């Protein structure tokens, strides 16, 4: 169903938890139905005077997660919707959601692999859902995540990702910190992509998510590295 035809549903915030200094996790109650890993929802906020604003947010939780649908939202200064989530939202608040939305930026364990995931900043959120879905299905599909962030403290779910890379057979993580540590000043580049491709094997699916600039430059690098454009799926968060 087209997104604009989907009904809005009221969802109650059941839990809020800090994820990084700028990102918080929100668990929503009262949402039935299953999504596919990689999909997003639309969130609509309406002020008492009737003014409303809506934005898209990727689903972080795995399909069927009993703890409820999870979003991870980065608070942007002056951001109309994200600043509500960063500073005002409380457990018990109700917002309107619709979805799940998205038909091509999705992966399920049946889709197999190898799978190359490349995320920048909050662009890791839908990729996290894919990793969580892989784990829920006890899948050992080869999957490699290149995750680019400015510094380690800004890495969403860093500890979870590191534990998954340590414990889950077939999953590998390359965490790139562009402003600190040994990789300061480095961006996702051709060498990194070729190393990842050598490691994970010829990919069946490639998912790239982040800001417009990040997705554009990574997609170019993938094509330069002879990855077929038809297997590269992208999600742009804006910015």
Which residues make up the interface to ligand FAD (CB under 6 A)? Answer: 40, 55-58, 72-74, 76-83, 122, 125, 235, 237-238
Using CB atoms, what's the residue nearest to ligand FAD? 79
Residues 6+ apart with CB under 8 A from 108: 36, 37, 63, 133
**Six-digit token string for 182:** 């040994």
Closer to ligand FAD at the Cβ: 59 or 197?
Answer: 59
d(CA 143, CA 134): 9
Task: Report the nearest approach of ligand FAD to the CB of residue 197 (Å).
Answer: 26
Task: Report the nearest approach of ligand FAD to the CB of residue 140 (Å).
Answer: 27
Task: Report the nearest approach of ligand FAD to the CB of residue 235 (Å).
Answer: 5
Closer to ligand FAD at the Cβ: 69 or 146?
Answer: 69
Closer to ligand FAD at the Cβ: 119 or 142?
Answer: 119
Task: Report the nearest approach of ligand FAD to the CB of residue 23 (Å).
Answer: 7
Task: Report the nearest approach of ligand FAD to the CB of residue 3 (Å).
Answer: 10
Closer to ligand FAD at the Cβ: 43 or 188?
Answer: 43
Closer to ligand FAD at the Cβ: 192 or 237?
Answer: 237
């Amino acid at each position: 169903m087209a997104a604009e035809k989907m009904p809005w549903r009221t969802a109650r915030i059941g839990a809020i938890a800090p994820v990084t200094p700028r990102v918080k996790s929100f668990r929503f109650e009262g949402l039935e139905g299953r999504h596919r890993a990689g999909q997003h929802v639309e969130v609509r906020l309406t002020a008492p005077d009737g003014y409303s604003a809506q934005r898209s947010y990727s689903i972080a939780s795995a399909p069927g997660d009993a703890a409820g649908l999870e979003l991870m939202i980065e608070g942007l200064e002056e951001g109309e919707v994200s600043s509500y989530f960063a500073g005002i939202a409380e457990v018990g608040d109700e917002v309107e959601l619709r979805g799940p939305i998205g038909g091509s930026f999705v992966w399920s364990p049946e889709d197999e692999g190898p799978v190359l995931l490349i995320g920048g900043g909050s662009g890791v959120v839908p990729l996290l859902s894919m990793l969580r879905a892989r784990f829920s299905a006890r899948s050992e599909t080869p999957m490699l995540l290149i995750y680019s962030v400015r510094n380690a403290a800004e890495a969403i779910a860093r500890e979870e990702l590191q534990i998954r890379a340590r414990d889950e057979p077939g999953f590998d993580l390359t965490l790139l910190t562009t402003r600190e540590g040994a990789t300061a000043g480095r961006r996702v580049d051709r060498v990194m992509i070729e190393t990842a491709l050598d490691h994970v094997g010829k990919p069946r699916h490639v998912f790239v998510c982040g800001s417009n600039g990040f997705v554009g430059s990574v997609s170019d690098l993938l094509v330069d590295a002879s990855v077929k454009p038809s297997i590269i799926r992208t999600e742009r968060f804006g910015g």
